[in-house]
Every structure is written in structure tokens, then in C-alpha cells.
Amino acid sequence: MGVVPDIPFGFSLPGAQPPDPSDPQQMQQFMAQLQQMFAAPGSGPVNWDLARQVAASQLSASGDPAVNMLERHQVEEALRLADLWLDPVCALPSGIHKSVAWNRNEWIYNTLDVWKKLCEPIAGRMVGAMGDLVPEEARAQLGPMQSMVATLGGALFGGQLGQAFGQLAAEVLSAGDIGLPLGPAGTAALVPSNIKAYGSGLELPEDQVRLYVALREAAHQRLFGHVPWLRAHVLSAVETYASGITVNREAIEEAMSRVDPSDPESMQAMALEGIFTPEDTPQQKAGLARLETALALVEGWVGHVVDAAAGDRLPSVAALGEAFRRRRAAGGPAEQTFAALVGLELRPRRLREAGALWAAVTEHRGIPGRDALWDHPDLLPTNDDFADPAAFARSRTDWDISELEGLEDGPTED
């Protein structure tokens, strides 16, 4: 009897029994179950239900501790204290309307809407390329699976996105941990189990790590809550860069050549990592520079105000600040997996330069003058300004609100 384990990506079909390839009835039933799994509900190039199932299955295997009442109280208190500490060092008021503690599955559930915006354009190109590459004779050989060709790519992409989300959920410390506004607006969220594991690795007290993460989360909420154009600007930079990523058709063709319609197990061999590559064009390079600048400015500002807020209050602030800068600049294993899957790195490469720039602006213009630069995207530093933070700060010393006249509201497009 042919055994079909974990179809595909390390999970099993719900209620499915391994079919006997020599039994037509078993194979027909198995194909029906497989087709049902691949049929994504609604429209779109990604089977998001499948992505959630795979992520949940992966978290179930690795562990997803429930959040207890003590942890919820600790998170709420840490975020409340963080907002108090930020008040003297930030001109932007609190952006927190709700403080919550999430387990890993809740992080996935509450951030999925933004992931859809970021991933579907890339997945759409892959699905289209897969359909174009299947030869006519191969389509005829697919038989009962012929109707699945259009949705096969969506299921494969959903399955591997689920794996990436499961890995990310096991590493992220908060809703805004990777620099993007992934969670609901105004909701500050920490992931206690991940904070505990991260603090243990640093050999630092858990309460100090929790408070430092809370400071970063509260700073993110202030920025994205009170700079109305920023959310769209950052997500647009990601989408613009992603739109220039091309599909490696040879990689898809090689992967699909390993699929044998009579052997469902062969679909496990379809790995999608590495099929997306950025185009080496001036437009794509400009898109990448815009994305990296946006991420660096956000993360640099957050790091600067958090370190100023913590000051002498948090004994381990220096060690925590350095650890977080390295963590964000390098990216963790899950971020690297995500980058390999979709061809998109979500880390600010010029984080230290951005931090130095915000420090220089604060020195020359003070806290209100520094945060006033967020009033309009045209006032923010550019990639070139990272080279000489002091010069940029001096050039903005005499900045006046009248300079906003003539500027259109909202972000500008490169």
C-alpha cells in the first residue's frame, strides 16, 4: 500500500487516509479531498485558510502557550508605564487605545489582513506563471486534477506562507516588532511567551525585557497613530518594491516537473523558495532605497526615543538597545525564511545611521522640532541625508511651519 504522509508541507489532509494507488476508488476519494483542499474560498491567488491551518499546525507542534491572567496584567502595566516614560521625550501623544497580550496564533490572526495586502500581488504573478508553464500535453495527463491547475499555485503559496507565519509567530515580540503596522490601529500587543524566551537568551531579567519591548510598541503606536499618512506610506513602499519582483520561470518549471499526477506525494517536492528575484532596474533600485529609508527612519526614531525614555530608569537599557539594533539589522531566522520565500527583506539596513540622524535633529531642534518633521513626508530625511546627520539637522534648524505651504497633504510617490 502506498503511504502518503503529510500532504503537503508537513500537514495531513483533514480526515484523509493514505490511499492505495492500485485502488481506483481510494485514489478518486483522495483526489476529491485534495481538490477540496486546493480550492481557495473566494477570490485571490493565495489559499489563506490553508495558510492559517499550516501555521496553526506548526505552532501546535512546537508549542503555543496560552496567555494567563498574570501575563495579561504584566503586559497592561508595562504598556501603561511605557507610555508614561515616553511622554517627556516625545511630542506625539499616546496612540494606545487598547493593550493586549497575544499568544502566537493570535499574532497571526490579528496581522493577517496586512499580510494579505503585502503577499497577494507576488503570489498572483507566481500563480499566473505556473499556469502558463504547464504544457498542453501535461494538462491532458493531469486528468481529474486538470481543474486544479489554476489553484495549485495558490495552495502551494498558502502552505509555505503558513510555514513562514508559524516561524515568525514563534519569534516576534509585539505587534510592531518587524517595523510594519501589522496589527489593528491603536492596539498595542505583546507576545509574553516570546518575550520570555528572548530574555532568557539574553540572560537579562524578564521584567526589564518586557518593559523595553513595551516601550518600543508604545513608540510605534504613537508614530503610526498620530502621523496619518505614515501607514499608507510604509505599506506603499513595500508594495512598490514587491511589484518589481519577478518570477523565476525556470525555477517554477523545474519544480512543477517533479509533480507526478499519479503520485500525490511528489507534490511535497515543490519548494517555492528562491523563485522570486528583484529586477535589476533603476526603478527597482529606487523602490528598494525608498523602502529601506522608510523602515530605517521609523526604526531609528523608535530606538532613539525609547533609549531616551529608558535612560537611567532601566538598568539594562544599554544592553537591550544594542541587542535590539543587532536583531533588527540582521533579521531572525523567520525573517530570512520569509525573505527567501517572497524575495522581500523587511529589515532596516541603515538603522544606526538613522538613529544618529534623529539624535542630531533632537540636539539642534529639540523634541518638538524633531517630531514636527513627521508632519509631511517631504520634510523627512532622504537616503542621502544619512551620510551627514549634522548637516541635515542644521538645515532644519530654521525650519518653519510656513514651509508646509504648497505641499500637498499625504505621502508623495517616487
- Residue ranges of alpha helices (H) inside 96-247 are 104-133, 136-142, 149-169, 192-202, 206-226, 230-243
Is pLDDT above 50 for 87? yes
Is pLDDT above 90 for 281? no
What b-and-e string marks burial along 194-233, b requiring 16 or more CB atoms within 10 Å of the CB?
bbeebbeebebebebbbbbbbbbbbbbbbbbbbbebbbeb
pLDDT attached to residue 372 = 94
Taking residues 165-186, what's their average pLDDT? 90
Is pLDDT above 80 for 186? yes
pLDDT attached to residue 405 = 47
pLDDT attached to residue 28 = 63
Distance CA 169, CA 200 (A): 18
Is pLDDT above 70 for 81? yes
Residues 349-383 pLDDT 10s = 788 899 999 999 999 999 999 999 999 988 999 88
Taking residues 28-38, what's their average pLDDT? 56
Strands 98-101 and 187-190: parallel
Q: Which residue has the higher pLDDT, 262 or 284?
A: 284
Is pLDDT above 60 for 41? no
**pLDDT bucket at 343, cuts 50 / 70 / 90:** low
Taking residues 240-254, what's their average pLDDT? 71
Is pLDDT above 50 for 164? yes
pLDDT attached to residue 216 = 96
Taking residues 202-222, what's their average pLDDT? 95
Residue 383: HSE in the Cβ half-sphere, 13 Å Cα cutoff: 14
| Cβ atoms within 10 Å, residue 376 | 18
Which of 33-47, 90-104, 129-143: highest mean pLDDT?
90-104
Residues 302-311 pLDDT 10s = 999 999 999 8
pLDDT attached to residue 273 = 57
Is pLDDT above 60 for 110? yes
pLDDT attached to residue 17 = 44
Which of 24-28, 236-240, 318-322: highest mean pLDDT?
318-322
Coil/strand/helix, residue 151? helix
pLDDT attached to residue 106 = 96
pLDDT attached to residue 333 = 57
pTM of the model: 0.80
Taking residues 46-65, what's their average pLDDT? 88
Residues 112-138 pLDDT 10s = 998 888 888 777 776 666 666 656 666
Is pLDDT above 70 for 146? no
Mean pLDDT (the chain, rounded): 78
Is pLDDT above 90 for 404? no
Residue 375, C-beta contacts closer than 8 angstroms, at least 6 positions apart:
227, 404
> Residue 3 has which C-alpha cell?
503511504
What b-and-e string marks burial along 125-139, b requiring 16 or more CB atoms within 10 Å of the CB?
bbbebbeebbeeeee
Q: Which residue has the higher pLDDT, 168 or 280?
A: 168
Please give the CATH topology (third level) of the domain spanning 45-351. Answer: Lysin (1.20.150)
Q: What Rg value do the Cα atoms of the chain yield, rounded?
A: 24
